[in-house]
Chain A
Amino acid sequence: MNAKRILQVQNISKTYGKGSSSTTALSGISFDVLKGEFLGIMGASGSGKTTLLNCIATMLKPTGGKILLNGEDVSAFKGSALADYRGNKIGYLYQSFELLDNLTARENIILPLSLHGVKNADAERALLPLAKHLDITEVLDKFPTQMSGGQKQRVAAARAFISAPSIVLADEPTGALDSKNAKTLLDKLSSLNQQEQKTIVMVTHDANAASYCSRILFIQDGTIFHELRKNGKNEPPEMFYERIMTVIAQLGGGSANVL
């Protein structure tokens, strides 16, 4: 069973500031992510969900606890090991795409591989099937300014998956997209998860986006408040969506409090 545990978050805590002015963002969160899982993290604003994701992504150093990726403590990484972890062992998908606008889609996508010493010609071989899957083949030689928002986010997704990372972290990936493009993206992520067994952790406050996940953690005041699992592949998304909405209502105060 251990072999399937990609990520282990053990008693993570994060406090900003010192002394009387300190604020606790996370207080002792623990969970595992299994290989091939599509995990959603939901919570109200300020609940600590982005802090949690940033800790996993090594953008923040947790105050306490451990984060193990394939058994290695990522919070202890420094220098080369840290750079190797970023973009190689984890992929990251941002709400604002974070594409380099002076690079073409092709160059953006293969950038993580280039940074880790793979020659561009070799990187191209990994690029083509992924581009086909995400339906971005025709924009590969375009610059981000020449693409739609949906295309940009799919290019960003391709960049997150190109190095075959152990896990892809997505921070509100549909936040800047219209509903049509959001659906297309989620369909693609979902199919990558199901067909290619890609492991994804997604932070979202959108119940619709969360309904694509196989499991959802609800966070409140820095602790896990609730956990929802999809009932196998048979549960229709509408039903899972209903259940998500119920938990959100239980979080207190309905969507106003969640969003």
Chain B
Amino acid sequence: MYFKQILYNIKKNRKDNGLFFATLLIAIVAFYTLLSLESQDVMRFLNALEGDAIQKLMLLVPIIYVVSLFFVFFLVYFAYAYQMENRRREFGLYLMFGMKRGRLFLMLMCETILNSILSVFVGIPLALLLTESISLTTARLVGLGIIGHQFSLSPTAILGTVGGFFLVQLAAMLILSVRFCRMDPADLLKQETEAAKKPTSGKQGIFSFLSGILLLAVAYVMGVTLLRAFGMLPTLLILIFGSLGTFRLYRGLGSFIERALTARKSQKSGLYTFTGRQIQESVVHQHSSLAVSSLLLLTALTCISFGIGMGVGRTGADARACDFSLMGTKEDVTAFIQDEENQNVIGDCYPMFIGNMYYGDSTFSLDGIVDAFETLPENDLRDNIVENLRQDEEYNDLYLIPLKSFNALLASMGEEKIQLADNQVAFYSRMAADSPNYKELWDQALRAGAYVEFTLPNGNVEKFEILPGVYYNNIVADRAITLSTTLVVPDDLYATCARHTSDKTDSADETGQMAEDGRAVGSAGGNAGDVATESGESTPLAGGVSNFAQDNDASTEPDTIDNVEDPFAWNIRLKDDVVKTQGLLPAIMEMQSRLDDSALSYDSYLGGIGRNLFYTVAASYLSIYLGVLFLLIANTVLVLKYLIWQRKNHGRYLTLMMLGAKKRDLSISMGKQIRLYFLLVLGVAVLNSIFAIWSMFTSFVKLPAGTSMLTVIILACVALVCFVLVEVLYICIVQHKSRKEILALHVSERPE
């Protein structure tokens, strides 16, 4: 009988309270999505390429799991609190009929366990469906196609989900059951009405409201102006001012609403005053919850924006420059490319030369650049750049790329070639790809008329104007080469000034080590020794794949660089139609297997994708996950708090009906209350978010240069539409539920 009663209760509660079950399902899906991260397609793929990095990322998962447990606990707690409030009369009756408190407690705990089991059976398949969709969508979005998709069921994730879910449920229910079981039957039987609270006195409230606005304004200004430096103190102050401001604002909002209400009510009739008072009361009673929900929504919006920004930035910045960079002797490379099968898939092949400034007979002066920088407003970055330039000068540290190589790269990517006039060079820095501030500053300096001076081997000093605009395309397939101060120079100048192969027996050491202070001077990774180790003439490759592909003028140019040294690498780009038909991933993988069979060492774009994806996944996936979790929690808490509060106000609606209010008018009033209630939370959250996101994207999360603004705007709009839809959905749920309750009201229910 006892067990039957438990089953009956579960069934009844499930029918009466869909929102409650939806909340439990959200909790399960949230846990599983996080815990199954490792077994998702993208992660498995990344694991193969960037195993160490992924392992480090996976170390973060337990921390986020614990954070999620903490937040999901509140979600579940409020869901159960709502459920228990609805059933308090029932509990009172059980006690009156002689049920012992211990037995009531046991009954509630049994219900919780059975509920949990049921939710797990529904929730896990739902979570699987969702994670599989995420897996497929992510793979598609990053261009991996659906190759290699495999259904992933992670037993550890299921165990973690079930364990975490039960833990959170039992903890929440334990607290609530103890509270309800300790109450006297009379208190349980009495429908609890919200104790009326007088709003904070007028002046005090208005002071609180205005001080809240002031604190928020200070936080906004500080965020936009001081966060660029990203110091600990300003960040902490912004957080304190922002949070405190939000709390103060909601605390005083009740008085503000009262003022607005009093000023306008004399010309109003109907339920205007009642609606206003209801909203005022909901704010006065729940100002802390509103502030917490608003801050949670702010966190959610910021996390999601951060995730989108990082994702788009990382994937957008590194446009595919080439698919492979081959290192080996010219003969080996030629032999490989001339292979018939390979010819069918290779679109472009060109040598990429990179050289050091020759420091035997020729020297250079960067004074012209330093002078240009010194005309710009002083700031830390400018001073750093100037200092680095001085060091480059001191250590004769200047890299050169011949125009031919660089134009071949641009042509291969379908971009416009550089046209250099006499005594002109172009500036290249890989750092510009990652730091828009750096790029912007260089752009300004170049526009201000920066130039370099070379002392040529013949003793002549020549001045070279630097073209406006900074180039930053990746010059090889992978390797994260970070050339800092590099010039794209005419080929004859390169031939004259770049280190001759005969002089560079120690080129491997010189070709690049990353400076410890982060000032990159060029990195060719561990394979640098493979490059250009012996001299030898370099002629255009035969077999349909030309040296400096598409460069029809190559033959007319002076016989210069081809004779000076072997290239740093041979860049290969696969034919577009092959990529289109086979998909990028399989095409690259196929070529990779052929390269593995050859004696050539190589780097592939896949490694680049791996690195990019790692950053994308680490930064965007987790922050979007947390953002969505916060969004759901904030909304659910908001909805449940509202419904609990509204339930306590049933008597008011009955009285209004006795006084002649129509149900339709009551529904309209309730709809207004719900919309305004949400608007009060969303309004502040959205306003806070605008400044938070603005501060974020102008400081530590600058979008990398070259990120398509259109893509960012489209994604931001999509995210905003999703956000609005989620909010509208929640508002509709509450309105529907409230309307149903109003329609079910009958004046004869009024307690005698």
Contacts and interface: CB of A to CB of B under 8 A. Distances in A.
Contacts of A118: 269
A3 B445 CA distance: 99
Nearest to A175: B752
A100 interface: yes
Interface stretch (B204-212, B471-479, B743-751): B743-751
Contacts of A95: 752
A59 B748 contact: yes
Interface in A55-89: 57-60, 79-80, 83-88
B661 interface: yes
A127 B752 CA distance: 28
Interface in A92-123: 92, 94-96, 98-103, 107, 111-121, 123
A5 B389 CA distance: 106
A241 B271 CA distance: 43
Interface stretch (A131-139, A142-150, A192-200, A247-255): A142-150
Contacts of B730: none
B266 A103 contact: no
A95 B280 CA distance: 28
Most buried by B among A102, A114, A118, A145: A102
B661 A59 contact: no
A203 to B, nearest CB: 11
A121 B267 contact: yes
Given A101-B196, A111-B659, A119 B269 contact: yes
A107 B273 contact: yes
B652 interface: yes
Q: Which of A80, A94, A120 has the most CB of B within 10 A?
A: A120
Nearest to B653: A100
A117 B662 CA distance: 12
Contact of B269 (A85, A86, A114): A114
B642 interface: no
A115 B270 contact: yes
A143 to B, nearest CB: 6
Contact of A115 (B196, B280, B656, B752): B656
A111 B661 CA distance: 10
B358 to A, nearest CB: 85
Contacts of B265: 120
Contact of A59 (B266, B269, B658): B658
Interface centre among B657, B658, B665 (most CB of A within 10 A): B658
Contacts of B563: none
B271 A114 contact: yes
B750 A114 contact: no
A181 to B, nearest CB: 20
A184 interface: no
A54 interface: yes
A223 interface: no
Nearest to A107: B273
Contacts of B659: 86-87, 92, 111-112, 115, 159
B198 A145 contact: yes
Interface in A147-188: 159
Interface size classification for chain A = 35 or more
Interface string B256-272: 00000000011111111
B274 interface: yes
Nearest to A124: B266
A118 B271 CA distance: 11
A50 interface: yes
B277 interface: yes
A118 B269 CA distance: 6
A121 B196 CA distance: 26
Contacts of B662: 79-80, 83
A192 B408 CA distance: 102
A120 B269 contact: yes
A117 B270 contact: yes
B368 to A, nearest CB: 74
A103 B267 contact: no
A102 B196 contact: yes
A120 B267 contact: yes
A208 to B, nearest CB: 21
B491 interface: no
A101 B657 CA distance: 16
B235 interface: no
Interface string B639-673: 00000000000011001111111100100000000
A119 B266 contact: yes
Interface in A214-255: none
A86 B657 contact: yes
B278 interface: yes
B274 to A, nearest CB: 7
Contacts of A87: 658-661
A112 B658 CA distance: 9
A88 B280 contact: no
A83 B660 contact: yes
Contact of B748 (A54, A100, A119, A145): A54
B179 to A, nearest CB: 24
Nearest to B662: A83
21 contacts: A58-B747, A79-B662, A83-B661, A84-B660, A86-B657, A86-B659, A94-B750, A98-B655, A98-B658, A99-B655, A102-B278, A111-B274, A113-B269, A114-B269, A114-B273, A119-B268, A120-B267, A120-B272, A120-B273, A124-B266, A145-B196
Instruction: Give 8 nearest A-B pairs by CB, closest first.
Output: A87-B660, A101-B196, A87-B659, A121-B266, A86-B660, A102-B281, A145-B196, A98-B655
